[in-house]
Every structure is written in structure tokens, then in C-alpha cells.
Chains A and B, each alone.
Chain A
Amino acid sequence: MTAVTTTTAVPRTDAGDLPQVRRRRRLSPGRRLPAARLIGPLVLLAAWAAASAAGTLDTGAIPAPWTVLRTAGHLWTDGTLPTDVLTSLERAGYGFAIGLSAGVLLALASGLSRAGEALIDGTVQLNRAIPTLGLIPLFILWLGIGETFKIAIIAIVVYVPVYLNTHAALSGIDSRFVELAEVQGLSRLAFVRQVVIPGALPGFFVGLRLGVTGSWLGLVVLEQINATSGLGYLMFQAQNYGQSDVILVGLLIYGVFGLVSDSVVRLIERRVLSWRRTLSN
């Protein structure tokens, strides 16, 4: 019945008696706008600039965007900002590198041998149950308030997600592939290199991205409570002197760090896991 009604309702073309096909109403949001992810932040920035120019914002609480930029310029030229940024980057970099290596090595040891699993997995799960930032007082007692303790805390924050995700991916390798490797007569080393590691890479990248985020998070906390240099310290000092523009400069730089590092990891992930893209397309 419905079919008949539709056919008569559609206007006929001049060419013949065939009903013209009418396109259905589109229910999906449609094509994505170019540079879509930048539009929201840019609108926000424009609103901030407009409100500052109109004088509706309290400049003591929220300084104008150009004030923040000028402050950043001053801090950069007088040498405080480069030193602080470098110190922060160094801490995050060392901590991240150590945490990443430890996470991967422990995951391999625990994922590839039963003895390793018995020794490592339970211990890491226990470590994970303790909030890492809660270890700060103890670590200060053990390692002093210098750089070592900060790097150690960041390394722990990083290694936990790297370990958990890599280990889960390693133990989740399809048993059918293990059987295949046996049939093909692969040596243990070849099996690890050609089957286990490539198979665990997707899980490892999940851990890596969590680890990168974790390293910045750890850095902020450490620098704001226990530091005499670094970006967090700069912001902490600015709070004491009521310099909201300096605080905003610090936040801006943290944001840029986070964005850049996440993009780098994504880029590497897309390169390394290029075989996956063909599946999703």
C-alpha cells in the first residue's frame, strides 16, 4: 500500500513515466568542517579578547590576552622562562623515559614467562593500588627534595599505565597465532619479535598515551608543592604576588606541552599501526 502511495505522490519527469527518485532526509551530522577542532578554542579566545577590550573583565583576575603575551615575552627575554621551561622539560623527559622503559621491560618479563608473571604482576598491581602522589612524603625522606625524587615520582606515574596496557596486550595475544608460530617452526626469539611484539603494540600505545598525560600531571603537582625552579614554581610564586598573567603563561605552556606530546604519540602510532587503518577504512 505504502509503495503505491509513494509512487503516485512523486512528480513525474518529462523523460518518461518513471518516478523521479527523491533523496532522503539526511540524519547524520554531515560533512566535517575544515579545522573543526580549532574553531571552539578560537571562538573562546575571541570572546576573551572582546570582553577584555570592552573592559568588562577584572584585569586583576583575568588579564587581557595581549597582557599575557607581553608577560610571556618579558619572562622569555629576561631568561627566567627558558630556564624554568627547560627544567620542567628535563624532569618530565627523564621521568617519562625511565617510566616507559621500566613499564615495557616489566611487561615483557611478566608477559613472556610464568616466573616473571609470578614475581612482577602482583607487585605492580599492589603498587598501582597506592596513589603515587601519596608516596611523595616517603620519597622526600628517602631521596631528599632534589631532582631525583621528582624524576622517580614521574617515572612511577608513567610506568603503571604502560605496564598494565602492554601486559594486558601481551597476555591477550590470540592463541591461534601462537599455534601458527609453532606450526611454522618459529624460534622463541622470532616468535617474540614477529608475533608477540607487533600483536601487543596497539595495547602499548594506549599505555603510552596515558603515560604521556601522566607525566605532565605528575610534573604539575610536584612543581607546585616541592620545587624551587620550574614552571610550577613560577606559577606558585606568581600566586603569592598576585600575578595572574604569569599564572596564565604557565598554564598556556603546560597546555602546549600536553598537546604537542599527545600529537607526536598519535603520529607515531598512526605510522607504526598503518595496517590497522586499512581495516577501519
Chain B
Amino acid sequence: MALLFHIGRYFMLLGEVFSKPERRSVYWKRTVEEMELLGVKSLGIVSLLSLFMGAVIAIQTKTNIDSPLIPFYVVGFTVRQSTILEFSPTIISLILAGKVGSTIAAEIGSMRVREQIDALDIMGVNSAGYLILPKILATALINPFLIIISMFLSIFGGWMAGVFTGIISSENYIAGVQWDFDPYIVSYALVKTVVFAVIIATVSAYQGYYTRGGTREVGISSTRAVVYSDVVILIANYLLTQLLLL
């Protein structure tokens, strides 16, 4: 029953979020600010993770190739496929759920316990729309760019690890990256990214918006935001994969 209650309230909140904005220019300005806060400021961690994950995938793939019948370019191919299909859209989104999701829940939760959301409501501002819609738009717009950067950096990380450790030549790696490339997998990854971005923003905002109590409860809301966003992302990942790849 509790689950149904939360699902119902979540969709009712979304109804409020997507109702007509009081002033579009204010919402757009906030969206741009949120793009910087939630997107651009995540670039560092996304870049670091991507470089090292690509490097690790390359080394692990090479060390697990025992058969001399398997060509070396499989390393580049595996890094590309793993990165585009799962690592960049899903794992980076899970990481962003931790960073961005907790920020969103903490910010909105703090505003709730400090009566700032009540202040918005009393002024006649649609508090749900004003606070949450710019975050949804910002993450949905900026995350695909983050993920594309992540894809390039992960593949580059694989190249660096492969070439600098001498386990694979640059030509073989690049040949693997280019081999049997289907552009559809990039579309699939970007569709997943946008869906995951909306999940992160809305689930986290939901947790923050309905925070009751004080600072301790804000912390609990932040933790819940990360956990629930991750769970919903994993379920959505399975469903989208089945829908888009089968």
C-alpha cells in the first residue's frame, strides 16, 4: 500500500511540475543555472571515471583472451561496445544519481524544512514547477552531452592503457573500435541517458519535496534519493534494453 501511495503521489507531483509556468523566462534562467550546477560541475568526476573504466576494460579484455584465434582488435571492439551500451549511459547515470540526486534532494528538502517552499506556495508560485521542472530540463539536456564525452574518454582511456602498456597496437585498437559499428547503439544509449536523467531528477526531487522534520530527515531524504533513483534506473535499464534491442 505504501508503495502505491508513493507512486500515486509521485505522478501527482509530476502533474504539478508540468503545469503552466508562471514566467517562462524565469524558468529558463533557472534551467541554465541548473545545467551548470548539475551538469557542468559533474564533468570532472565523469571524465575521471570514464578514462579509468575504459582503461580497465581494455586491460581485462586483453588478459582474458587466451585463444590465438581471437583477433587483437577485439579489445577495441569490446571497449567500444561495453562503453556505449552500458558503461557510459548506465554506470555513469548511477554515479550521477549519487552526486546529482543527493544534491537535488538535499536542496529541496532543506527548502521544505526551512519553510521556503511554503513561502513560494503562499506567494502563488507553483513551487513544484519552479523548483523541479528546471532540474528535469537541465539534466535531460546536459546529461546526453556528459555521456557522449564519457564515451569518447572511455574509448580513449582504453587506447591509452592498451598502447602505453604495450598489450595492443594503436592500429589494432582503432580497427576494433571501428569494426562492425552500428550507429543505432548510440541512439539507444542516448535514449537511455535521457530517461535516466529524468528518473534521477524526479525521484530525487520527490524525496526532497516531501521531506518532513529537520536536518536529519534531509539527510535521510538524500540517501533515499540515491537508493531509489538507482533501483528505478536499473529496472528502467532492463525494460529499455528489452524494448530497444530485442
A and B: interacting chains? no
Which B positions have Cβ atoms within 8 angstroms of A?
none
